[in-house]
Structure 1
Amino acid sequence: MTTLLVMAKEPLPGRVKTRLTPPFSPLEAAGLAEAALADTLATVRALPARRRVLVLDGSPGPWLPPGFEVLPQGAGGLDERLAAAFAACEGPTVLLGMDTPQVSAAELAPALEPSAWRAADAWFGPAVDGGFWALGLAVPDPALLLGVPMSLPETGAVQRARLTDAGLTVRNLPVLRDVDTAHDARVVAAEAPGSRFAAALARLTPVAAP
């Protein structure tokens, strides 16, 4: 079976979702981040997996359900931290972040089916903003991530090219939207109206920008 990794930051005010402030306060942005993380972990917990691992920058909180190993994130840039997360695994591994609370079993199913790795060496989940929300590797080689420029509009294209240039057969997962801005938050909440994230957003009154 496949190992599932969730890459996350502890949802503390001022440390997460800073692009949501304004219109939201740092406390409100952290609440949205916590809801997004809780939704993601709930989805992962319900999926078939050999291991479920939270790779965390910070400390676990009451939002963490049972059934997860917790590993600290490594040092360095995001490419180095992602590489270190894969280095801690053996066999087929799928990594996702905490920014897509709308993700469901249906989006991840192709990479988790018994036949998932027969015709694919890698699974790639492109994001609307040009990045990627999921990456699956049959052989979790850290070198496939090191040096990839992160958090740029071309990040996804560069990462996917890194995989194909290594001779890997890559199959795509559906395109999803990361929650980075208030607009993203509204769109994602509408896509997942029954989620914790949608409920958290509905409770908030945006603070007017100065």
Structure 2
Amino acid sequence: MRFPGRRMNLRVLILFARAPRLGAVKRRLAAGIGARAALRFHVATLAATARAVGRDRRWRTLVSVTPPGARADWVGLLPRGVRRVAQPRGDLGQRMERAMRPFRFVLLAGSDIPGIRAADIAAGFAALGRADAVFGPAEDGGYWLVGMGPRRPARPFAGVRWSTEHALADTLRNFGGRRVAFVRRLRDVDTAEDLVALGAAARR
């Protein structure tokens, strides 16, 4: 798939995901509920998220998958118009930056947040109309969404302590001197405790 260059105002949403493989996804969650249950959660959440946001024509949606050579027999889970692409190589921060680099207005979101809706993505792009970057904070101190406009740091994700409560604060330090906006806080699901908390919140 070809996209217009950086000068075009194309809005692109990238969903970062691991290819659904037993024992290779949601390992912290698998430690609490088992590898097969974790895989089912991963597949169901990825498919539901792609359906919730991928049909909206206000932006182009890509699912960026690692590892790059993973089998593609699961792409039938994705709605029409959502394309699967390989994640760039490098550590997590490098892969995120390289995936976002070609696009002038771009959001990147995780695929393990059951609460994402099209309205959240629309709010993220609206925020980029008045700010240089936008973040969706997560309950654990990280973030479920990051977006950037044309004025962005050369190394936006340098020195980030991923999978810790410091991830958002570390990233924000790289955006010093730039206008930053925030959208609503959501809970990602990394552990069995997160899954229980999510269920309790849904019942409330």
Question: TM-score category by the smaller chain?
Answer: 0.7 to 0.9
Amino acid at match of 2:160: V
Structure-2 residue corresponding to 1:159: 171
Shift of 1:127: 0.7
Contact 1:43-1:104 at 8 Å conserved across structures: yes
Structure-2 residue corresponding to 1:136: 147
Structure with the larger RCO, 1 or 2 (CA within 8 Å, 6+ apart) = 1
Whole-angstrom CA distance in 1 between matches of 2:199 and 2:25: 18
Structure-2 residue corresponding to 1:13: 22
Contact 2:49-2:116 at 8 Å conserved across structures: yes
Shift of 1:124: 0.6
Are the structure 2 counterparts of residues 134 and 155 from structure 1 closer, same or farther at C-alpha, using a change threshold of 3 Å?
same
Whole-angstrom CA distance in 1 between matches of 2:121 and 2:103: 19
Q: Pick from 53, 58, 74: which aligns with 1:49?
A: 58
Matched, 1:65 2:75: no
Whole-angstrom CA distance in 2 between matches of 1:145 and 1:49: 27
Q: Pick from 96, 106, 109: which aligns with 1:82?
A: 96
RMSD, aligned α-carbons: 2.0
Q: Pick from 98, 109, 131: which aligns with 1:96?
A: 109
Structure-1 residue corresponding to 2:49: 40
Whole-angstrom CA distance in 2 between matches of 1:137 and 1:180: 25
Which stretches in structure 2 are left out of the alignment for 5+ residues? 1-9
Amino acid at match of 1:80: Q
Amino acid at match of 2:108: L
Contact 2:159-2:170 at 8 Å conserved across structures: no
Shift of 1:28: 1.2
Shift of 1:78: 0.8
SS of the aligned residue for 1:80 comes to: helix
Matched, 1:145 2:175: no
Once the two structures are superposed, residues 154-179 of structure 1 have per-residue CA deviations (whole angstroms, 9 ceiling, x without a partner) of 0111112212x1x2100101111110
Whole-angstrom CA distance in 2 between matches of 1:138 and 1:154: 23
Structure-2 residue corresponding to 1:197: none
Query: TM-score, normalised on structure 2?
Result: 0.83
Question: Taking every aligned residue pair, what percent have the same amino acid on both sides?
Answer: 31
Are the structure 2 counterparts of residues 189 and 45 from structure 1 closer, same or farther at C-alpha, using a change threshold of 3 Å?
farther
Contact 2:55-2:79 at 8 Å conserved across structures: no
Which stretches in structure 1 are left out of the alignment for 5+ residues? 194-210
Whole-angstrom CA distance in 1 between matches of 2:79 and 2:38: 21
Shift of 1:12: 1.2
Whole-angstrom CA distance in 2 between matches of 1:142 and 1:39: 33
Equivalences, count? 188
Contact 1:79-1:149 at 8 Å conserved across structures: no
Moved more, 76-85 or 92-101: 76-85
Moved more, 180-189 or 93-102: 180-189
